[in-house]
Structure 1
Amino acid sequence: MTNLDVANLRAYNQRLNQNKFKKPEEVIGYMGAMQAQEYAYAKWAIGLRMLSPADKSVEKAMTAGTILRTHVLRPTWHFVLPQDIRWMLSLTAPRINAGNATMYKKQEVTEDIFNKSFNVFTKTMQGGKQLTRTEIAKALNEANIATDDLRLTIILMKAELEQLICSGARQGKQFTYTLLDERAPMTPVIDRDEAVARLVLRYFTSHGPATLNDFVHWSGLTVADAKAGIEINKQQLSSIVIEGINYWMAVEVDLSKVKKSGTYLLPVYDELLIAYKNRDAMVPAKFRDKTGAITFFPTIMVNNQVLGNWGRSIGKKAIDIELKPFGNLTKAQSDAIKTAAHRFKKFN
């Protein structure tokens, strides 16, 4: 097995070219969590894994709360299911808060300020109210809590990590926050070992083949956590060694059915790239010096290999797509990319 086989397996297991889902919440449930700070592109990441993708179906799921958007891994924005948000946050929040401690101190946001802010959130959001950042800042300022610089972002993130608030429906183009207890059902509390085991199994099933360090990069947890989760799930995971590196994935993968083809216009921060610490399997050796372009911009993938960047501009009547290949494209590659571009335009 080669690095190209790894790339093919990852695209296959991430459901980019087989058994696509009907609903956005099915995508998120399978993937565990999907990076989502670039919202318009993040919706397309869900759409890529759907049988009949449509922007409005993802937006509808956000409005209804069947998928939520919050800080849960590393930390950055992720889509997650309401039934998963509590156990995931219980698992990841302690490490995120520890990592944020210096920022809390620098911005002089003390526990007393956090608690006072949380009381404001509870009072102003109860009854299903969904507030924009501007409305939240106004409520905090009226309670003599400063929200300048990064303080509002810090307070909101901390409230998310404490399982007090989560995403509400959008108001126009504005995001809102609402009380988690009024947005997501209460779920049974599970111990840390079970939470680690769940997250490990979800990751390696949907993202495998992947390494321990890939999981650590994606989750923000430790190597010890990864090893413990694999040990608990050892009957459901298998390992393969490629060029001396140990990869893990679900045992039920039928290697004879894995597709070697597939052309996608990946959004920025798509899980097929961002979810791995080492992305060499998906990037030809001649393009591995383009780390920034691959990490921070939408990418063109042909036969599960990165071949360039792309961008889009949305007008009133049409969507224009600009292709920025890293090298010359063959006719077959160009034709495949045109088909992928048509699918993106149809999504919007």
Structure 2
Amino acid sequence: MPDQKRARLRLVAQSLVGPSFVSPEDAVSAFGAMQGQDLTGVIASAALRSRGGAESVLGAMDSGALVRGYPMRGTVFLLPGRDAAWITELCAGPALRASAARRHSLGLDETDLGKADEVATAALAASPLPRSQLLARWTEHGITTADGRGYHLLTTLIMMGRLIYGPWHDGEQLVALAEGWLPDGSDLAGRFNGERIDAVADLLRRYLLSHGPATIRDFAWWTKLALREIRAALPLIAGELETDGADEASYWAPGLQERAAGLGREPSRPLLLPGFDEFVLGYQDRLFAMTEAEHHRLVPGNNGVFKPSIVAGGRVRGVWRRAGRPGRRQLEVDGFGDLPASVAKRLPALFEDFPFPVP
């Protein structure tokens, strides 16, 4: 059953209600990473938690302060540029092993991967390029990119720390060389002297402060890090958190409950969230904010494609979409059951103010 109290606390922890972060870099850094399969959606997610709107997020991408990569679960995330290398090195191991196991079925081998790395290094030396142009360079050098091979090579090289999605250009992020685009010394050795448990503790702290109340199993699911490493890291930060002390303990930021109470009805106000937002995707069990039947409507066919959500009273109350053409955009709403009139009447203004990065 949905747990509206927990959901409201998570809305406050995630800075979707209450004070915003000064910059999108601050917001994403507090989270460690934000799930970002939908590029325009994750731009909105960062903007909704900070000041300056979508333009500020795009500016952070252009400066290298924010990047996208594949740090964990074989999934693309928005990350701070200064943290992308070490988080990827820490968490990408399982996805890299899965990638290696799949290579043969794609008709690729380590020679192809090495050649793709060499060609990309030369092609991107002068400046970042659109993904399509990089794949074209690979094709010119005899590297087959059809039937998912190009995507496989690109994501693998990003997980290996060789490439990264960098500046925004014409509706997409260009592919850049990680060396040169990411800060020097931002890998595990540079940031934590190669100490994995210290790095796990840093990322665990960020997750629990930004997602709590949450458990270490939530974090293990989110990162795919081993529970033995997480349990070893927890004592390093437990004193900085509040907990319910349960057998499956939840942890949260100090004073979170008092902050939420001080906001009055603010945590219950309606919100429009993009698809793949961390409020929905940041936890192993999403039914704290909806019923199982409602979850099926949020992710039809359980196909991994999450629709943008309407949240009110700590519950996902429906889904929405941006219909029409540039200059004639309109909000379309599909409520779960009877959407309360008090919620429905506030949605047009939220849609008007939503931080869309493209017209």
Determine if the TM-score, normalized by the shorter chain, exceeds 0.5: yes
Q: Judging changes above 3 Å, is the alpha-carbon distance between structure 1 residues 346 and 71 closer, same or farther for their aligned structure 2 residues?
A: closer
What amino acid sits opposite 1:246 in the alignment? A
Moved more, 25-34 or 135-144: 135-144
CA shift at 1:213, angstroms? 2.3
Moved more, 232-241 or 145-154: 232-241
Paired residue secondary structure (1:234) = helix
Q: What is the alpha-carbon root mean square deviation over aligned residues?
A: 2.2
Q: Please list, as runs of the form range in 1=range in 2, the aligned pairs for 1:1-348 lying within 5 A after superposition.
A: 3-53=3-53, 55-127=54-126, 129-187=127-185, 188-190=190-192, 191-240=195-244, 245-250=248-253, 252-258=254-260, 259=263, 260-284=267-291, 287=294, 290=297, 292-293=299-300, 296-344=306-354
CA shift at 1:132, angstroms? 1.7
Q: Distance in 2 between matches of 1:263 and 1:333?
A: 6
CA shift at 1:291, angstroms? 5.6
CA shift at 1:284, angstroms? 4.9
Paired residue secondary structure (1:119) = helix
| Contact 1:310–1:322 (Cα < 8 Å) also in 2 | yes
Q: 1:130-173 deviations in whole A, cap 9, x for unaligned?
A: 11222212221232221111111111111111211111323323
Paired residue secondary structure (2:85) = helix
Question: Which runs of 5 or more structure 1 residues have no equivalent in the other structure?
Answer: none
Q: Distance in 1 between matches of 2:131 and 2:226?
A: 33
Question: Which runs of 5 or more structure 2 residues have no equivalent in the other structure?
Answer: none
Q: Distance in 2 between matches of 1:241 and 1:308?
A: 34
Moved more, 62-71 or 314-323: 314-323
| Contact 1:218–1:276 (Cα < 8 Å) also in 2 | yes
Q: Distance in 1 between matches of 2:18 and 2:284?
A: 24
Q: 1:15-38 deviations in whole A, cap 9, x for unaligned?
A: 011120232211111111001111
CA shift at 1:288, angstroms? 5.2
Q: 1:219-252 deviations in whole A, cap 9, x for unaligned?
A: 122222332222221211232267x7521222x2
Q: 1:286-338 deviations in whole A, cap 9, x for unaligned?
A: 74554625962111001221111101125232321101001112222223333
CA shift at 1:125, angstroms? 1.3
Q: Distance in 2 between matches of 1:11 and 1:218?
A: 18
Q: Distance in 1 between matches of 2:160 and 2:231?
A: 27
Q: Judging changes above 3 Å, is the alpha-carbon distance between structure 1 residues 297 and 289 closer, same or farther for their aligned structure 2 residues?
A: closer
Paired residue secondary structure (2:46) = helix
What amino acid sits opposite 1:43 in the alignment? I
Count of residue pairs the alignment pairs up: 343
Q: Judging changes above 3 Å, is the alpha-carbon distance between structure 1 residues 52 and 318 closer, same or farther for their aligned structure 2 residues?
A: farther
Q: Distance in 1 between matches of 2:79 and 2:21?
A: 16
What amino acid sits opposite 1:269 in the alignment? F
Which structure carries more relative contact order (alpha carbon 8 Å, separation 6+)?
2
Runs of 4 or more consecutive aligned structure 1 residues displaced over 3 Å after TM superposition? 284-291, 345-348
CA shift at 1:51, angstroms? 3.5
| Contact 1:68–1:80 (Cα < 8 Å) also in 2 | yes
User: Normalised by the size of structure 2, how large is the TM-score?
Assistant: 0.88
| Contact 1:269–1:298 (Cα < 8 Å) also in 2 | yes
Q: Judging changes above 3 Å, is the alpha-carbon distance between structure 1 residues 284 and 162 closer, same or farther for their aligned structure 2 residues?
A: closer
| Contact 2:298–2:319 (Cα < 8 Å) also in 1 | no
| Contact 2:119–2:138 (Cα < 8 Å) also in 1 | yes
CA shift at 1:200, angstroms? 0.6
| Contact 1:22–1:50 (Cα < 8 Å) also in 2 | yes
Q: Distance in 2 between matches of 1:83 and 1:113?
A: 30
What amino acid sits opposite 2:122 in the alignment? K
What amino acid sits opposite 1:161 in the alignment? M
| Contact 1:230–1:237 (Cα < 8 Å) also in 2 | no
Paired residue secondary structure (1:167) = strand
